[in-house]
Structure 1
Amino acid sequence: MASPVKLRSIYRSFLRELPSRPLAERSKSPLQARIRNTIASKSATPIEQAEQFLQYVKAQRMYATLLERYNPGMNMEEEERIRLTAKRVGMELPVEFLVEGSEGEKGG
Protein backbone atom coordinates (compact mmCIF):
# COMPACT_ATOMS: atom_id res chain seq x y z
CA MET A 1 0.00 0.00 0.00
CA ALA A 2 1.18 3.50 -0.78
CA SER A 3 2.12 5.91 1.93
CA PRO A 4 -0.50 8.40 3.15
CA VAL A 5 1.73 11.27 2.03
CA LYS A 6 1.84 9.95 -1.55
CA LEU A 7 -1.93 9.40 -1.59
CA ARG A 8 -2.54 12.91 -0.26
CA SER A 9 -0.25 14.31 -2.94
CA ILE A 10 -2.14 12.50 -5.69
CA TYR A 11 -5.49 13.59 -4.25
CA ARG A 12 -4.39 17.23 -4.17
CA SER A 13 -3.12 16.95 -7.74
CA PHE A 14 -6.54 15.70 -8.82
CA LEU A 15 -8.20 18.62 -7.06
CA ARG A 16 -5.94 21.08 -8.90
CA GLU A 17 -7.05 19.59 -12.22
CA LEU A 18 -10.76 19.93 -11.44
CA PRO A 19 -12.48 23.16 -12.57
CA SER A 20 -12.51 25.83 -9.90
CA ARG A 21 -15.75 26.42 -8.08
CA PRO A 22 -17.20 29.71 -6.81
CA LEU A 23 -16.74 30.46 -3.12
CA ALA A 24 -20.46 29.96 -2.51
CA GLU A 25 -20.20 26.35 -3.69
CA ARG A 26 -17.19 25.24 -1.65
CA SER A 27 -18.85 21.98 -0.64
CA LYS A 28 -17.39 18.89 -2.27
CA SER A 29 -18.60 18.10 -5.73
CA PRO A 30 -19.74 14.52 -6.42
CA LEU A 31 -16.60 13.94 -8.49
CA GLN A 32 -14.36 15.23 -5.70
CA ALA A 33 -16.13 13.00 -3.18
CA ARG A 34 -15.76 9.98 -5.48
CA ILE A 35 -12.03 10.59 -5.97
CA ARG A 36 -11.53 10.96 -2.22
CA ASN A 37 -13.46 7.78 -1.45
CA THR A 38 -11.56 5.81 -4.10
CA ILE A 39 -8.16 6.97 -2.86
CA ALA A 40 -9.08 6.48 0.81
CA SER A 41 -10.57 3.00 0.42
CA LYS A 42 -8.48 0.02 1.44
CA SER A 43 -9.23 -1.85 -1.78
CA ALA A 44 -8.18 1.13 -3.87
CA THR A 45 -6.65 0.79 -7.30
CA PRO A 46 -2.86 0.61 -7.41
CA ILE A 47 -0.99 3.86 -6.99
CA GLU A 48 0.51 3.51 -10.49
CA GLN A 49 -2.97 3.41 -12.01
CA ALA A 50 -3.99 6.55 -10.10
CA GLU A 51 -0.86 8.35 -11.29
CA GLN A 52 -1.53 7.27 -14.86
CA PHE A 53 -5.10 8.57 -14.69
CA LEU A 54 -3.79 11.83 -13.22
CA GLN A 55 -1.43 12.21 -16.20
CA TYR A 56 -4.39 11.59 -18.53
CA VAL A 57 -6.45 14.30 -16.81
CA LYS A 58 -3.56 16.76 -17.06
CA ALA A 59 -3.09 15.96 -20.75
CA GLN A 60 -6.82 16.51 -21.41
CA ARG A 61 -6.69 19.91 -19.70
CA MET A 62 -3.62 20.90 -21.73
CA TYR A 63 -5.29 19.69 -24.94
CA ALA A 64 -8.36 21.86 -24.24
CA THR A 65 -6.12 24.85 -23.47
CA LEU A 66 -4.16 24.46 -26.69
CA LEU A 67 -7.30 23.90 -28.73
CA GLU A 68 -8.75 27.19 -27.44
CA ARG A 69 -5.46 29.03 -28.00
CA TYR A 70 -4.87 27.92 -31.58
CA ASN A 71 -8.52 27.89 -32.71
CA PRO A 72 -9.84 31.15 -31.30
CA GLY A 73 -12.94 31.19 -33.51
CA MET A 74 -14.08 27.78 -32.37
CA ASN A 75 -16.63 29.08 -29.87
CA MET A 76 -17.66 32.19 -31.80
CA GLU A 77 -20.84 32.74 -33.70
CA GLU A 78 -20.52 32.64 -37.49
CA GLU A 79 -21.16 36.39 -37.93
CA GLU A 80 -18.45 37.33 -35.45
CA ARG A 81 -15.96 34.90 -37.04
CA ILE A 82 -16.65 36.36 -40.52
CA ARG A 83 -16.29 39.93 -39.22
CA LEU A 84 -12.94 39.14 -37.59
CA THR A 85 -11.71 37.29 -40.69
CA ALA A 86 -12.54 40.32 -42.85
CA LYS A 87 -10.83 42.62 -40.38
CA ARG A 88 -7.71 40.43 -40.44
CA VAL A 89 -7.26 41.07 -44.17
CA GLY A 90 -8.00 44.79 -43.85
CA MET A 91 -11.67 44.89 -44.78
CA GLU A 92 -14.74 46.00 -42.90
CA LEU A 93 -18.11 44.38 -43.39
CA PRO A 94 -20.91 46.71 -44.46
CA VAL A 95 -23.40 47.76 -41.83
CA GLU A 96 -26.60 45.78 -42.28
CA PHE A 97 -29.98 47.24 -41.51
CA LEU A 98 -33.58 46.21 -42.05
CA VAL A 99 -36.08 48.44 -43.79
CA GLU A 100 -39.54 48.27 -42.24
CA GLY A 101 -41.93 46.15 -44.25
CA SER A 102 -39.19 44.63 -46.40
CA GLU A 103 -38.70 41.60 -44.21
CA GLY A 104 -39.79 38.54 -46.16
CA GLU A 105 -40.88 40.59 -49.22
CA LYS A 106 -39.38 40.13 -52.66
CA GLY A 107 -38.96 42.93 -55.09
CA GLY A 108 -40.91 42.72 -58.32
Structure 2
Amino acid sequence: MSTLHLYRSLLRELRLASKQPRRIRNPVVQQHLRELIQEQRPDMVEKMLSETRDFLRASRIHAELLKRYNPLHDMTEEEKIRATARRVGLNTPKEYIEE
Protein backbone atom coordinates (compact mmCIF):
# COMPACT_ATOMS: atom_id res chain seq x y z
CA MET A 1 0.00 0.00 0.00
CA SER A 2 1.42 3.39 -0.88
CA THR A 3 2.25 6.01 1.70
CA LEU A 4 -0.23 8.43 0.18
CA HIS A 5 -3.04 5.87 0.42
CA LEU A 6 -2.17 5.11 4.05
CA TYR A 7 -1.97 8.82 4.88
CA ARG A 8 -5.40 9.48 3.34
CA SER A 9 -6.96 6.50 5.14
CA LEU A 10 -5.45 7.73 8.42
CA LEU A 11 -6.93 11.19 7.84
CA ARG A 12 -10.28 9.53 7.14
CA GLU A 13 -10.10 7.63 10.45
CA LEU A 14 -9.15 10.85 12.26
CA ARG A 15 -12.19 12.55 10.75
CA LEU A 16 -14.47 9.69 11.80
CA ALA A 17 -12.99 9.60 15.32
CA SER A 18 -13.39 13.33 15.86
CA LYS A 19 -16.43 14.54 17.73
CA GLN A 20 -16.04 18.13 16.50
CA PRO A 21 -16.82 19.63 13.10
CA ARG A 22 -13.91 20.26 10.75
CA ARG A 23 -13.78 24.04 11.31
CA ILE A 24 -13.36 23.59 15.08
CA ARG A 25 -10.80 20.75 14.98
CA ASN A 26 -7.22 21.44 15.92
CA PRO A 27 -5.05 21.45 12.75
CA VAL A 28 -1.91 20.63 14.75
CA VAL A 29 -2.60 16.89 14.52
CA GLN A 30 -2.46 16.88 10.73
CA GLN A 31 0.61 19.14 10.72
CA HIS A 32 2.35 16.80 13.15
CA LEU A 33 1.55 13.80 10.96
CA ARG A 34 2.98 15.57 7.91
CA GLU A 35 6.16 16.40 9.79
CA LEU A 36 6.55 12.80 10.95
CA ILE A 37 6.13 11.53 7.41
CA GLN A 38 8.75 13.93 6.06
CA GLU A 39 11.30 13.08 8.77
CA GLN A 40 11.07 9.26 8.74
CA ARG A 41 12.28 6.57 6.36
CA PRO A 42 9.62 5.32 3.90
CA ASP A 43 9.35 1.81 5.39
CA MET A 44 9.02 3.23 8.91
CA VAL A 45 6.38 5.70 7.75
CA GLU A 46 4.20 3.02 6.17
CA LYS A 47 4.35 0.87 9.29
CA MET A 48 3.57 3.84 11.56
CA LEU A 49 0.66 5.00 9.39
CA SER A 50 -0.90 1.55 9.10
CA GLU A 51 -0.61 0.86 12.84
CA THR A 52 -2.06 4.26 13.75
CA ARG A 53 -4.91 3.84 11.27
CA ASP A 54 -5.67 0.35 12.60
CA PHE A 55 -5.64 1.61 16.19
CA LEU A 56 -8.04 4.47 15.39
CA ARG A 57 -10.36 2.14 13.47
CA ALA A 58 -10.38 -0.42 16.29
CA SER A 59 -11.07 2.29 18.88
CA ARG A 60 -13.96 3.66 16.83
CA ILE A 61 -15.48 0.21 16.30
CA HIS A 62 -15.06 -0.61 20.00
CA ALA A 63 -16.90 2.57 20.99
CA GLU A 64 -19.72 1.77 18.53
CA LEU A 65 -20.06 -1.75 19.91
CA LEU A 66 -20.11 -0.50 23.50
CA LYS A 67 -22.84 1.97 22.61
CA ARG A 68 -24.85 -0.72 20.79
CA TYR A 69 -24.60 -3.54 23.31
CA ASN A 70 -24.27 -1.57 26.55
CA PRO A 71 -26.55 1.46 26.22
CA LEU A 72 -26.04 2.44 29.87
CA HIS A 73 -22.26 2.76 29.37
CA ASP A 74 -21.95 6.55 29.16
CA MET A 75 -24.77 7.52 31.55
CA THR A 76 -24.57 8.97 35.02
CA GLU A 77 -25.76 6.91 37.97
CA GLU A 78 -29.11 8.74 38.12
CA GLU A 79 -29.70 8.22 34.40
CA LYS A 80 -28.89 4.51 34.76
CA ILE A 81 -31.45 4.14 37.57
CA ARG A 82 -34.09 5.99 35.56
CA ALA A 83 -33.42 3.88 32.45
CA THR A 84 -33.53 0.64 34.44
CA ALA A 85 -36.85 1.62 36.03
CA ARG A 86 -38.33 2.53 32.65
CA ARG A 87 -37.22 -0.82 31.23
CA VAL A 88 -39.55 -2.64 33.66
CA GLY A 89 -42.37 -0.11 33.23
CA LEU A 90 -41.86 2.05 36.29
CA ASN A 91 -41.02 5.69 36.89
CA THR A 92 -38.57 6.75 39.54
CA PRO A 93 -40.11 8.82 42.31
CA LYS A 94 -39.33 12.52 42.53
CA GLU A 95 -36.90 13.22 45.32
CA TYR A 96 -38.10 15.29 48.23
CA ILE A 97 -36.18 18.53 48.57
CA GLU A 98 -36.56 20.24 51.94
CA GLU A 99 -36.34 24.01 51.83
Give me the TM-score of the superposition, normalised by structure 2.
0.73
1:34 corresponds to which residue?
A: 32
Q: What is the rounded CA distance, in whole Å, between the counterparts of 2:36 and 2:53 in structure 1?
A: 13
Tell me, yes or no, if the aligned pair for 2:37 and 2:45 is still in contact at 8 Å.
no
Please tell me whether Structure 1 or Structure 2 has the larger radius of gyration of its CA atoms: 1
1:9 pairs, out of 1, 5, 21, with: 5
Count of residues paired in the alignment = 95
1:16-95 equivalence runs, <5 A: 16-18=12-14, 19=18, 21-25=20-24, 28-29=27-28, 31-41=29-39, 43-44=41-42, 45-95=44-94
Gaps of 5+ in 2: none
Gaps of 5+ in 1: 101-108
**Greater percentage in helix:** 2
By relative contact order (CA 8 Å, sep 6+), the higher-ranking structure is 2
Question: Between the two proteins, what is the percent identity of the paired residues?
Answer: 37
CA deviations 1:41-96 (Å, max 9, x no partner) are 35241524532332222112111221122222122111111011011011121222
Q: What is the rounded CA distance, in whole Å, between the counterparts of 1:42 and 1:59 in structure 2?
A: 25
1:91-102 equivalence runs, <5 A: 91-100=90-99
